[in-house]
Amino acid sequence: MKRSIPMLVLLASASVAATLSAQTSVPPVARVIPRVDTIAGHVLTDNYFWLRNRADSSVIRYLEAENRYTESVMADTKPLQDTLYNEMLGRIKQTDLSVPVKNHGYYYYSRTVEGKQYPIFARKRGSLGAPEEIYLDQNELAGGRKYFSIGVREFSPDQNWLAFTTDTAGSEHYTVWIKNLKTGEILPDRIPEVHFSLSWGADNRTFFYSRTDSSHRSDRIFRHTVGTPADGDVMVFHEPDLLFGVAVDRTKDDKFNVITSGSFTSGETWYVPASTPTAKFRLLEKRRPDVVYSVEHHGNDFFILTNENATNFKLVKAPDNAPARKSWKNVIPERKGFLITGFDVFRNFLVLSERGNAETRVRVRDLRTGAEHYVRFDEPIYTLSQSGTPEFDTDVMRLNYTSFLTPSSVYDYEMSSRKLKLLKKTDVLGGYDPALYTTERTWATATDGTKIPISLVYRKPLVRDGKRPLFLYAYGSYGSSSDPTFSSNLLSLIDRGFVYGIAHIRGGQEMGRAWYDNGKMFKKKNTFTDFVDAAQYLVNAKYTSSDRLVARGGSAGGLLMGVVANLRPDLFKAIVADVPFVDVINTMRDASIPLTTGEWIQWGNPNLPKDFAYMMTYSPYDNVAAKKYPTMLVTTSLNDPRVAYWEPAKWVAKLRAMKTDKNLLLLKTNMGAGHGGSSGRYDALRDQAFRYAFVLKALALTSGAR
C-alpha cells in the first residue's frame, strides 16, 4: 500500500538525515531510508524519497554539502571560470538598445546599462525623437533581491495603464501590479498568485488573468476592474479537466478577448467582444479528441488553425457571428512534410510560420489577390521567425533572422514590395569574424532507418580524424524544436577547437508534426535512441571520438541525458544535465506535483499498468545500475516548480551509491532560483562559465589556451 506523505515527513527527520562529510573533497553520502511501494503489481524501493521534504533542515544541509563539494572539486578551475566569464562578457555590448516596436502610437523598447543585471523598459510617444518615458526599471524593482523576474507586461488599449507581473523566488507564482502611466503611480490593488496570461478589455478598466490550482495547473480565468479589491474579482471560466490548462488573450485587431482551454491533444476557444468585457464568454467550437485549434480575428471572420484531418495543420475561416465547425471554410490546405506552426493576420496580408526538413520558413499571402511567396535568405542553414508585429493595419512585418554564423538580426519586411530592411544585427565585440567558421547539416541513420538531421558549427578547417572535441545538444520533447541560432558564448568552446552540434531528434517538430508524434507516449524511446544513433554517427564519421564527446540537455532534455547515460555510458566522456526530469515514475504518478496531470498524455500515467511498464523501461532514476558512468554535472534550483530539485538530488544520490567508476559526479543547486536558473544577466553568465569550465576540465583542456 502507498505510504503517505506525513509518514515520510516523520522518517525524513534530522536524526536520519544525510551523512555529511566535513571534508568537501569527499562527496556527501545521502542517508538511505527505504520507501517500499507497489505500482501496477510491481514492488519499487526508493531509498531517497525523503529528499522531497524541503521543510526538513537536513535536506537543505545535504544540498549545501553537495554545493560545497562541487565548489571544492572545481576550485582549480576558478581562474579558467574567470577567463571564460570575461571572454563571454567581452563579446556583449553591455549598454545596448532593442529595436523599438510601434504599438498604438508609441514606440516601445528596452535597454540595458553596463553593470546592471536587468533591462529598463521604456517608450516614446509619436516618434523616436520624442522624450523617453521609462515605465519599468527592473533593476529598481528587484531591490537587491537574489532573484527577480517580470512575467507579463500588458498595456490597456489606450496605453494609459500597465498591468505587469513579478516573481521574486523563481517559483512561477506571480503577483499582478497595476501602474497608472499618466501619473507613474502603482495602485494598491495588487493580485497575488496568478499565472502567465493577462488580457485587457477595450474599456481600459477591465482585464482578465489566469490562476492555478494546488498542482500549479492553470485552471481559472478571473475578471478584474482597476481600482477595486482583488477579492471581489469574478471568476469567468473554470476548467475542471486535469488534462487541460487555460490562458486568456486578445485578438490582434483588439475586437475580442479569447480564452483557450487546451491539452496536448485537444482544446477549445471561448470569446467575448472586448468592448463588452462583462458579457458572457461564448464557445467557438467544442473540444473533440485529437483535434486542436487556435484562432485570430480578421474583418468579420475568425481564422482558425487546426489539425482536423490535417496532421501538419491547415487554416480555415468562419464568420464571427457563427464560427462553429459547420461554418468552416478552407483557406490554406495542409502541406505534406511542412508543418504550419503559427500564423499572423494583417489588414491585407496573412503570414504563416512553417517548419519541415529541419528548416524554418515564413510564407506571405496577399488577402486581396491570393498571391503567395516565401521570405528568402541566402545562407543554407538558418532560423527565421516572426518577432512580433502588434500593429494590424500595416504591410510591414517584423522578422528575426539568425544562424550559427549570423548574430540575431531584426528586419522589417515590406510584404507588398518584398523588400527587407535590416534594422539591427546584434553586436559581437572583440573582433568576431564569421569567415573563420563554417556550418553544415549532416544526417545520421537511426536504428529503424529514419534519417536524423544534425546541425554543426566549427572553426575552419575541420580534419575529420576524431581528434576534435564535440559538444552535442538536444531536447526532443513536447514538439519543441531546437533551431540553429547564434550564441557568442559558444565561441569560447568553438575557439578552443570544439565542434558544436544540435541533434534534431524525434519529439520535436523539426521534420513536421509526425516527428513529434513519433517521439512521445509509447514511441518516446525513439527520442533517446535517435540521440545515441546521432552521437555514434558523429564518432564513426570521425567528427570526434567517444573520449572527446560531451552531451548536454536540460529539463526534458535532462531526461534525455539520464536515459543515454544508462543506455550508452561508454559513448560519452561527459554529460551536462540541467534541471533534469529523471524521476519519471514517482513524478508522473503524483497528481499534486506541478504539470503532472496535463502530461499524462505526453509521457503516460504510471498508475496504468501498460503505461507503467513502458515508462519503467527508460525512467533514468529507476534504471541506474552498478556500472561505469561518464563524468557528469547535474544542476538544479531549489524553487523550480517544473522539475523539482529532489529529482536531480535523488538521481545523484543513487548514482553515487551504485556507479562503479571514479569519474566526477557533481550536483550544483541554485538555492534561490527557479527552472531557468539565475535571473540576472551577469549571474547567468557566471553559471555558463562554470558549466563550460566543467566541460573543459572533463576533457583535460583547462589550460585556458584558445
| Annotated active-site residue in 297, 640, 678, 679 | 640
Cβ-proximal residues to 362 (8 Å cutoff; 6+ apart), any chain: 351, 352, 353, 354, 374, 375, 384, 385, 386, 399
Of 690, 458, 486, give the one whose Cα is nearest residue 576: 690
With beta carbons less than 8 A apart as the criterion, state whether 573 and 549 touch. Answer: yes
Q: Is the Cβ–Cβ distance between 505 and 583 less than 8 Å? A: no
CA 274 to chain centroid, in Å, comes to 30
Q: What is the Cα–Cα distance from 421 to 252, expressed in whole angstroms?
A: 24
Which residue, among 394, 401, 356, 395, has the nearest Cα to 375 in the 3D structure? Answer: 401
What is the distance between the alpha carbons of residues 544 and 596, in angstroms, rounded to a whole number? 38
**The length of the chain, given as a count of residues:** 706
Instruction: Establish whether 675 is a catalytic residue.
Output: yes
Q: Which three cell numbers stand for residue 415?
A: 510584404
Cell of 289: 479528441
Question: CA torsion, points 233, 236, 241, 247, in degrees to nearest 10?
Answer: -90
Alpha-carbon torsion angle 336, 338, 342, 348, nearest 10:
-80
Partners of 161 in beta bridges: 180
Peptide bond into 188 cis (omega under 30): no
- The answer to whether the beta carbons of residues 607 and 641 sit under 8 Å apart is no
Query: Using CB atoms within 10 A of its CB, is residue 138 exposed (0-12), middle (13-18) or buried (19+)?
Result: buried
Count Cβ atoms within 10 A of the Cβ of residue 416 and give its class: 0-12 exposed, 13-18 middle, 19 or more buried: exposed
Say whether 640 is catalytic.
Answer: yes
Q: What is each CA distance from 199 to 203, 248, 259, in whole angstroms?
A: 12, 6, 10
Measured CA to CA, the distance from residue 278 to residue 236 in angstroms comes to: 9
- Check 173, 195, 297, 675 and give the catalytic one: 675
Q: Are 476 and 527 in contact, with CB atoms under 8 Å apart? A: yes
To 10 degrees, what angle do helices 57-73 and 646-658 make?
60
Q: Which residues contact 241 (CB under 8 A, 6 or more apart)?
A: 263
Strand extents, DSSP E, 537-586: 549-554, 574-578
| Max CA pair span of the chain | 76
* 216 belongs to the catalytic site: no
Q: Do residues 164 and 179 lie in contact, with contact meaning Cβ atoms separated by under 8 Å?
A: yes
Under a CB-based contact definition with an 8 Å cutoff, are residues 12 and 33 in contact? yes
**Strand residue runs (E) in 263-313:** 267-273, 282-285, 293-298, 301-306
Gap between the Cα atoms of 270 and 284, Å rounded: 6
685 SS3 class: helix
* Helix, strand, coil % in the chain, rounded to nearest 5: 25, 35, 45
617 CB contacts (<8 Å, ≥6 apart)? 525, 623
The C-alpha cell that represents 578 in the structure block: 540541467
Taking the C-alpha atoms of residue 322 and residue 679, their distance in angstroms, rounded to an integer, is 46
Catalytic pick among 555, 619, 637, 678: 555
Tell me if 121 sits within 8 A of 153, measured CB to CB.
Answer: yes
CB 28 within 8 A of CB 41: no
- Show which residues are catalytic: 555, 640, 675
